Amino acid sequence: HNTANLSFIRHGVTMARRGWLEKKDVINTLPTAEFLDALRPKPGTARPGSQKRRAAKGT
């Protein structure tokens, strides 16, 4: 990520619109508190990749 890639925003917005996404569907458009909450693990959910690590250890 760097400022040189800002020109690609247009393409991302175009793809989101083609998929009928709304502002509320895009995580980095959320207010700060909601964004941070969305990043927190939810109770009863595994961390991404945690099953792979266990399988690799043979458990």
pLDDT tens-place string over residues 6-25 = 889 899 889 999 999 998 88
What does the mean pLDDT of the chain come to? Answer: 84
pTM of the model: 0.48
Res. 45: pLDDT tops 90: no
Distance between CA 19 and CA 15 in Å, rounded? Answer: 6
Question: Residues with Cβ < 8 Å from 5, sequence gap 6 or more?
Answer: none
